[in-house]
Amino acid sequence: MNPILAVNSGSSTLKFGLFVPDGEDERALLRGSAEGIGKGKGTLEIFDGGGKSLHREERKYSSQLEALKHVTDAMAALHFEPPVAIGHRIVHGGPRLRDHARITPDVLKTLGAAIHFAPLHIPTSIELIRGAEAIYPDLPQFACFDTAFHQSLPEEAYRYPLPATFAEEGVRRYGFHGLSYASVVHRLGSALKPRTVIAHLGNGSSLAAVFDGRSLDTSMGMTPTGGVPMGTRTGDLDPGVLFYLIRVHKLDDEGLETLLNHKSGLLALGGASDMRQLQASAAKGDHDAALAINIFCRAVARTVAAFAVSLGALDSLVFAGGIGEHSAEVRAKVCAQLRLLGVEINEERNQASQALLSLEESPVEVRIVPSQEEAQIAREVRSLLAV
């Protein structure tokens, strides 16, 4: 069956899936996630390909690596065939690692040299790669970079207005959530409209302008901190705010990083990073929670409108990610601000989170397409194994 294990690590979660080829696609034998990593308590849940729960337990995980070891033990206990290869989602590979690639000592060395591009993500990725090597010493491992999808960005989209020497060092827009975008493009197939904006909205949120299946513009920048406000990240800021924080509040680089990535965004605005909590609080009259939701939706709508300029028109808007797939309120607020572009949705379809949301007569198609990052990792790895 030649199963491929896809590993997708987040800040406090480890998602995974075991996939086998199914025609030209990948079929899940199992999917699952370890939640609450690094927190007081956590859970592990494993489902079969049809969504039936196979295993669930509460367990404390001190690290991503500990979670991975327990995941592989649980897979073996369920008598699944061991994988023939492992694919890792890597958030950032720096300027030199942009293509999905088999992991070699040189690739690991280059990844280690790029830690300053994503200090919150790359060390964990390296730890997981080395840990997986210890668990499966004979298996090939592959790095699937979230930045790879955005290699098609034109220079006017990725270049910052800074002296050229910084661009030569790799200071540029990279874009992220590439595996999510690639999975949406794959799933839509021939139904993908030529000028599409995909909004991956979750705890980390970004948008991409996709022209004929290729990234033309994207909201995140050199790091995943840029773009629209997120669960705990600021999104784009006037650089003068940073000067103020340094001069007046005496923040150093670590203090800035903690503030901008972990103490800002929806959490700072509304008291919670989870959109579901914000919506519940707003429904009870909490002004700050309602403001956080409105600021988020306004930023998303503004980005969609800006990307209509990048694309020359707007044929389709696709919602993905946890918020994009499940929050009817957010989708409605975003779309209401885009009526000037011809965006009109059916409220009953939206409340039911149906796949097609737009009115039949609307010139802009609006859809929900759940992203499948783990399946996309398996597709990328399978294609590299075939080379």
- Mean pLDDT across 105-120: 93
What CATH number does residue 304 fall under?
Answer: 3.30.420.40
Same domain membership, residue 127 and residue 203: no
Q: Is residue 12 part of a domain?
A: yes
Residues tagged active-site: 146
Q: Compute the mean pLDDT over every residue in the chain, rounded to the nearest whole number.
A: 96
Question: Can you state the angle between helices 239-249 and 253-262, rounded to 10 degrees?
Answer: 120
Q: Is residue 179 part of a domain?
A: no
Same domain membership, residue 107 and residue 253: no
- Note the pTM of the prediction, 2 decimals: 0.96
Q: Is residue 291 part of a domain?
A: yes
Q: Is residue 277 part of a domain?
A: yes
> What percent of the chain has a predicted confidence (pLDDT) above 90?
94
Q: Is residue 167 part of a domain?
A: no
Same domain membership, residue 261 and residue 131: no
Let me know how long the chain is. 387
* Displacement of CA 112 from its chain's centroid (Å): 21
Same domain membership, residue 19 and residue 133: yes
pLDDT at 243: 98
- Mean pLDDT across 205-214: 98
pLDDT at 41: 85
Structure tokens that stand for 380 in this block: 């990328």
- Mean pLDDT across 243-264: 97
Same domain membership, residue 211 and residue 82: no
Q: Tell me which of 145, 176, 207 is where a domain ends.
A: 145
Q: Is residue 172 part of a domain?
A: no
Same domain membership, residue 303 and residue 207: yes
Same domain membership, residue 358 and residue 219: yes
Same domain membership, residue 119 and residue 199: no
CA distances in angstroms from 172 to 184, 255, 373, listed in the order given: 25, 23, 25
- Mean pLDDT across 251-277: 96
- Mean pLDDT across 171-199: 98
**Domain enclosing residue 267, as ranges:** 191-368
In b/e form, how buried is each residue of 184-211, taking b as 16+ CB within 10 angstroms?
A: bbbbbeeebbebbbbbbbbbbbbbbbbb
297-309 residue pLDDT tens: 999 999 999 999 9
Burial of 298 (0-12, 13-18, 19+ CB in 10 A): middle
**With 90 as the cut, is the pLDDT of residue 160 above it?**
yes
pLDDT at 38: 86
Q: Is residue 160 part of a domain?
A: no
Q: Is residue 382 part of a domain?
A: no
Instruction: Place 119 in a pLDDT band, splitting at 50, 70 and 90.
Output: confident
Q: Within 13 Å, how many C-alpha atoms sit on residue 206's CB side?
A: 28
Same domain membership, residue 231 and residue 122: no
Number of domains the chain contains: 2
- Mean pLDDT across 163-192: 97
Same domain membership, residue 137 and residue 229: no
pLDDT at 226: 96
Same domain membership, residue 130 and residue 54: yes
Same domain membership, residue 219 and residue 130: no
Q: In what order do the strands lie in the sheet with 53-58?
A: 53-58, 43-48, 25-35, 13-22, 4-9, 85-90, 141-145, 101-102
**With 70 as the cut, is the pLDDT of residue 387 above it?**
no
74-99 residue pLDDT tens: 999 999 999 999 999 999 999 999 99
**With 70 as the cut, is the pLDDT of residue 317 above it?**
yes
Q: Tell me which of 120, 145, 170 is where a domain ends.
A: 145
- Nearest-angstrom CA–CA distance, 85 and 68: 15
